[in-house]
Amino acid sequence: MRVRVRFAKRGRLRFLSHRDVARTFERGLRRAQVPMAYSAGFSPHPRISWVGAAPTGAASEAEYVEFALAVAVEPDWLRASLDAALPAGLDVVDAVVATSGGLAERIDASSWRVRLPTVAPADLRAAVAELLSRDEVEVERATKDGRRRFDVRAAVVSAVGRAENDTCAILELVARHTTPAVRPDDVLTALDVVAGLRPSAPPEPTRLEQGRLLGDGTLADPLAPDRNDAGRLVGRSSA
């Protein structure tokens, strides 16, 4: 039995790296006594599959992970017990039994909300307009394979500048998952390249959703097919 879980990384726990999140989940699963299935071999590991983690320092309302279980459990029990066993700030939002298909194939884009304290909304809007008017904007970032240059513009599906107040702008962003991944800080670097936008305070990015990009620019809930399939299964068995 496989279970798919949506969780949030909130508040001060946004500073957890993916490795920190993974270690904390493994301990939480043991504390919650979730009956994990283990890999075979010399050094067995619990079978956990992660889907594209939000960067260290970024908060998220929509992280996904899939577990293989040795014994079937109620998803609601798993959601509640795992949530209770994890520290506040790593919050389990949803859990469904995997029915079919791969979770990773249902995710190809993310939507982000990036708070930009100290940035005037008008400046952000101007910079966003400039970015969207380009066909290609290259930025450079240190990755684990060394410094890489890559295009940001092609990954940006939509970008909108809004105002929280006169001195705090909000960037609403939908970006495709590409290789290398274009992250909110890459988009901010691109805004600096095209319009010289340089926030003097650290940006505060939050991933709001992940899913398959639909024709209208919104994202499909990646757990919906499992819920729908499960619903049909119940319907069939009662018929």
Partner 1 sequence: MSGQSLFARLEPLLPRVRRPVQYVGGEGNSIVKPWESATVRWCLMYPDAYEVGLPNQGLQILYEILNEQPDVLAERTYSVWPDLEALLREHDLPQFTVDAHRAVGDFDLLGVSFSTELGYTNLLTALDLAGIPLHAERRRETDPIVVAGGHAAFNPEPIAAFVDAVVLGDGEQAVLGISDVVRAWKAEGAPGGRVELLARLSRRRLVYVPAFFDVSYRADGRIAAVAANREDIPARPSKHTLSDLDSWPYPKAPLVPLAETVHERMSVEIFRGCTRGCRFCQAGMITRPVRERNIETVGAMVDAGLRATGFNEVGLLSLSSADHTEIGRIATGLADRYADSRVSLSLPSTRVDAFNVTLANEFSRNGRRSGLTFAPEGGSERLRKVINKMVSAEDLVRTVSTAYAHGWRQVKLYFMCGLPTETDEDVLEIADLARQVIRAGRAASGQRDIRATVSIGGFVPKPHTPFQWAAQASHELTDARLKLLRDTVRADREIARAVGFRYHDGRPGIIEGLLARGDRRVGAVIERVWREGGRFDGWNEHFSFDRWESACAAELGPLGVSLDWYTTREREEREVLPWDHLDAGLDRDWLWADWQEALRENELDDCRWTPCYDCGVCPTMGTDTQIGPTGRSLLPVVGVSAGVPTGGAMAGVPSAGAAVCGGAEAGAAVAAGDPDSSTVVGSGTPA
Residues at the interface with partner 1 (CB under 8 A) = 12-13, 15-17, 19-20, 23-24, 26-31, 33-36, 38, 42-44, 46, 56-57, 70-74, 76-78, 81, 85, 87-89, 117, 201-202
Among residues 18 and 134, whose Cβ is nearest to partner 1?
18
DSSP label at residue 41 = S
Q: Beta strand pairing status for 2-9 and 168-176?
A: unpaired
| Residue 137: alpha-carbon gap to chain centroid | 23
Q: Which lies closer to partner 1 via its Cβ, residue 118 or residue 158?
A: 118
Q: Could you tell me the smallest distance in angstroms from the CB atom of residue 57 to partner 1?
A: 5
Could you tell me the two tokens for 101?
Answer: 């298909």
Provide the minimum distance between the beta carbon of 84 and partner 1 in the complex, in angstroms, as a whole number: 11
Compute the distance between CA of residue 109 and CA of residue 6 in angstroms, rounded to an integer.
16
Nearer residue to partner 1 within complex by CB, 42 or 146: 42
Q: Which is nearer to partner 1, 57 or 225 (CB)?
A: 57
| Minimum distance, C-beta of residue 27 to partner 1, in the bound complex (Å) | 3
- The continuous run of DSSP H or E covering 205 comes out as strand 204-213
In the complex, the smallest distance separating the C-beta of residue 58 from partner 1, rounded to whole angstroms, is 10
**Residue 131, amino acid:** L
Q: Is 165 or 200 the residue whose CB approaches partner 1 more closely? A: 200
* Closer of 52 and 89 to partner 1 (Cβ): 89
Closest distance of CB 210 from partner 1, Å? 22
CB of 213 to partner 1, least distance (A): 28
Tokens of 10: 């909130």
Q: How many CB atoms lie within 10 A of CB 44?
A: 10
Tokens 């009956």 belong to: 35
Pairing state between β 90-97 and 59-68:
unpaired
Number of Cα atoms under 13 Å in the Cβ half of residue 149: 4
Radius of gyration of the chain (CA): 20
